[in-house]
């Protein structure tokens, strides 16, 4: 029986099947994402309880009730507003310089913004444009729900990272945001209704800053960091898959025959047959041999970050080897 030649349709079919397979693999990256995702409701609920405690020390329920009474009584009174984000501060210290440029420590107000909305901002130490996009948290948290929708893609910000805005990205970002909703619809409304309080004053959190203790402030700071770690775990998991898919597509492009592509898929743990692909040239480089390419792709996942001690040990070994060579 003659070998079936690969064409672009078959390459696309196999690549799509491989993407689904890679997303289902129980890798270190996926486990971290799944574990952090399971904690998100609890960490948000716990942070919200603390935020509510801080706010209610300043805007007591009794005061809010009195303000609500006046607002209901007089048409020209509009003082009660719901809010989900707050500026909290405590009196701490910061290092400055005197006139002689000598360091000195002085009292200072330490203030931060804490936003409990689904698309609320969070601190990030990453240079990734993805982690700085406030939509990333909702995309990561409701990834399964978005994946189940036509014309939605929860991974679009990661796939388009480093690229200029374009119609493809805009289409999926708009569809994602429309499905997730906002203050009035969808998951956004459900989420934001859960995390909001009646406050006295205008409904702009930047118009007020509420005092808290340093310990309370640090707990809320840790909450923001935990949100960031969850978003970054989504990024790292999907980025690992994208790196693997890049190699897979490069290999498929170099293959001439369908059986080569089938062998690659089988080596990577995806059991498919040529009949499945039909229904719905080797480049000469060793790397594109199906088994070798499969081994290379497998090495792109389950990466454990090296500890500081391991990095130091590697550096010392490198320096020692360099001295021997010299």
The pLDDT assigned to 226 comes to 96
Q: What is the mean pLDDT of the chain?
A: 87
Q: Is 203 among the domain residues?
A: yes
Q: What average pLDDT score do residues 285-312 get? A: 63
Q: Is 263 exposed, middle or buried (0-12, 13-18, 19+ CB in 10 A)?
A: middle
Coil/strand/helix, residue 181: coil
Q: What percent of the chain has pLDDT over 90?
A: 66
List the Cα angle 166/167/171 in 5-degree steps: 120
Nearest-angstrom CA–CA distance, 233 and 141: 11
Dihedral sign for Cα atoms in the order 19, 24, 28, 31: positive
Reported confidence tier of residue 300, pLDDT bands at 50, 70, 90: confident
Choice between 275 and 116, residue whose per-residue pLDDT is larger = 116
Would the pTM of this model clear 0.85, i.e. be above it?
A: no
Q: Is 132 among the domain residues?
A: no
Q: Is 125 among the domain residues?
A: no
Nearest-angstrom CA–CA distance, 18 and 241: 10
Choice between 309 and 238, residue whose per-residue pLDDT is larger = 238
* Strand 103-115 versus strand 85-97 pairing type: antiparallel
CA nearest 153: which of 134, 169, 137, 141? 169
Q: What average pLDDT score do residues 294-309 get? A: 68
The pLDDT assigned to 110 comes to 95
Choice between 243 and 101, residue whose per-residue pLDDT is larger = 243
Choice between 135 and 287, residue whose per-residue pLDDT is larger = 135
Q: Is 155 among the domain residues?
A: no
Q: Is 304 among the domain residues?
A: yes
Reported confidence tier of residue 319, pLDDT bands at 50, 70, 90: low
Q: Work out how many domains the chain is built from and give that number.
A: 1
Q: What percent of the chain has pLDDT over 70?
A: 82
Q: Is 38 among the domain residues?
A: yes
Per residue in 31-54, pLDDT (tens digit) is 999 999 999 999 999 999 999 999
pLDDT at 284 over 70: no
Per residue in 158-201, pLDDT (tens digit) is 999 999 999 999 999 999 999 999 878 899 999 999 999 998 87
CB-based contacts of 59, cutoff 8 Å, min separation 6:
197, 199, 200
CA nearest 241: which of 58, 34, 21? 21
Q: What average pLDDT score do residues 124-140 get? A: 74
Nearest-angstrom CA–CA distance, 85 and 205: 6
Answer left, alpha or beta for residue 109, where phi above 0 means left and psi between -120 and 50 means alpha.
beta
Q: What average pLDDT score do residues 53-76 get? A: 93
Please, which residues bridge with residue 89 across strands? 111, 211
Q: Is 108 among the domain residues?
A: yes
Reported confidence tier of residue 203, pLDDT bands at 50, 70, 90: low
Q: Is 133 among the domain residues?
A: no
Query: Structural domain of residue 306, as residue ranges?
Result: 8-116+195-325
Element spanning 301, H or E: none
Tokens, residue 150: 């036509």
The pLDDT assigned to 122 comes to 78
Q: Taking the mean position of all CA atoms in its chain, how far away is CA 191?
A: 17
Q: What average pLDDT score do residues 78-85 get? A: 88
Q: What average pLDDT score do residues 124-131 get? A: 57
The pLDDT assigned to 100 comes to 82
pLDDT at 318 over 70: no
Q: What average pLDDT score do residues 115-130 get? A: 75
């Amino acid at each position: 029986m003659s070998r079936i030649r690969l064409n672009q349709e078959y390459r696309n079919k196999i690549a799509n099947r491989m993407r689904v397979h890679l997303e289902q693999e129980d890798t270190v990256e996926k486990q971290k994402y799944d574990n952090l995702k399971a904690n998100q409701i609890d960490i948000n609920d716990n942070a919200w309880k603390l935020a509510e405690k801080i706010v209610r020390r300043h805007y007591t329920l009794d005061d809010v009730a009195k303000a609500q009474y006046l607002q209901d009584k007089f048409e020209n009174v509009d003082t009660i507003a719901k809010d989900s984000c707050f500026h909290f501060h405590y009196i701490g210290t910061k290092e400055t310089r005197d006139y002689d440029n000598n360091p000195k420590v002085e009292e200072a107000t330490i203030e931060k913004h804490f936003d409990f909305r689904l698309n609320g901002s969070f601190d990030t130490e990453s240079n990734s444009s993805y982690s700085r996009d406030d939509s990333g948290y909702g995309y990561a948290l409701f990834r399964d729900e978005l994946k189940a929708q036509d014309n939605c893609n929860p991974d679009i910000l990661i796939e388009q990272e480093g690229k200029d805005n374009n119609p493809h990205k805009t289409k999926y970002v708009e569809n994602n945001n429309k499905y997730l909703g906002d203050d009035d619809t969808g998951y956004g409304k459900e989420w934001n209704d859960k995390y909001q309080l009646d406050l006295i004053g205008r409904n702009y959190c930047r118009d007020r800053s509420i005092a808290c203790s340093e310990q309370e402030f640090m707990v809320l700071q840790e909450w923001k960091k935990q949100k960031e770690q969850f978003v970054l775990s989504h990024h790292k998991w999907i980025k690992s898959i994208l790196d693997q898919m890049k190699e897979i597509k490069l290999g498929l492009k170099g293959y001439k025959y369908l059986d080569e592509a089938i062998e690659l898929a089988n080596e990577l743990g995806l059991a498919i047959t040529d009949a499945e692909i039909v229904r719905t040239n080797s480049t000469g480089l060793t790397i594109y041999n199906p088994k070798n390419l499969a081994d290379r792709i497998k090495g792109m996942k389950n990466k454990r970050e090296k500890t500081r001690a391991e990095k130091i040990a590697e550096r010392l070994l490198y320096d020692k080897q360099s001295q021997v060579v010299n």
